[in-house]
Structure 1
């Protein structure tokens, strides 16, 4: 069974910034390439820019892809495992490692000890926290959070899962019953 996370609200501006940045850098690169034909242009400076701008453009496009993949993440319940598809942060968790009896729904605005405070390997943007974080209480956590309310708190033997799901009750029921 496949389940999706709740889409982040108002994340369109982030895509716009990333794509506009990539386009601006690409245009800058073309402009610099044209100036390279000018004998009065500083060759050292142009040589550096020729390498920096394409790398920055690739970085912006990669950031756009990463945010998109995390916002469109899916969770797949298999016979013996939970498979999370979230770009670079995809993982498979054996069901035997899930502590389903401790699962509950929380509001991160009220549960201060469960709020993410340190991003150890993740993406953070207004309306999206995805990847690995440390919580205020010191626990290690994997987040796919797009909204602060109705977040599924699902502990494993090694870390905490915090998930914003479109159908959280149905997901938890399916996880318990399968």
Structure 2
């Protein structure tokens, strides 16, 4: 009798209040209202165009809402895997500079705050994807800026993560890195 494979250790991501989605839903609802009013008032447009436009806007809103909830932090073998919205980052634990890792509060440590979005998904209180941190590349999954895990890599890039329990993730990474150092 074979045993089911054990799932990789997962670390809960700090929750984001659901009302943050209003930053997405309100503008999209406004766009649908404007499209509807201008289409119905225009003599050059037919109401049939609404049959194409409104479902498309609803589909985009649905995909962006789904992406908002797609976030996961796990350890798979010797890799840290971060899945966030449309992005995925797999980093071997050996590439992490765990001696320089810190748990930070962005309100107190502005130097760890991502400065420019390169390719990401963001709304107030939520950042996901690729950013710049000063001159360094940063991959972010930030849902709680008050207790964020700063993980520098050997290639001079950075991971900025918001696990629900940042200390537990850091300790798991350190425990995984110890056997690698012993060899």
Give the TM-score band, short-chain normalised. 0.7 to 0.9
Q: Which residue number in structure 1 is paired with residue 14 of structure 2?
A: 6
- Where structure 2 has 5 or more consecutive residues not aligned to the other structure, the ranges are 1-8, 177-183
Q: Which residue number in structure 2 is paired with residue 65 of structure 1?
A: 66
State the shift of 1:177 in Å: 0.7
- Where structure 1 has 5 or more consecutive residues not aligned to the other structure, the ranges are 36-40
Is 1:51 aligned with 2:52? yes
In structure 2, C-alpha distance between the alignment counterparts of 1:19 and 1:44, rounded to whole Å: 25
Contact residue 18 and residue 63 of structure 1 kept, 8 A: no
Change in CA separation of 1:153 and 1:64 when aligned onto 2, cut-off 3 Å: same
Q: Secondary structure at the match of 1:6?
A: coil
Residues paired across the two proteins, number: 163
Q: Secondary structure at the match of 1:61?
A: helix
In structure 1, C-alpha distance between the alignment counterparts of 2:116 and 2:90, rounded to whole Å: 23
Match of residue 167, structure 2, among 166, 169, 175: 169
Moved over 6 A (4+): none
TM-score (norm 1): 0.77
In structure 2, C-alpha distance between the alignment counterparts of 1:43 and 1:50, rounded to whole Å: 16
Q: Deviations over 1:47-90 (max 9, x none)?
A: 54443322212111111111121xxx221113311111223212
Q: Which residue number in structure 2 is paired with residue 141 of structure 1?
A: 138
TM-score (norm 2): 0.75
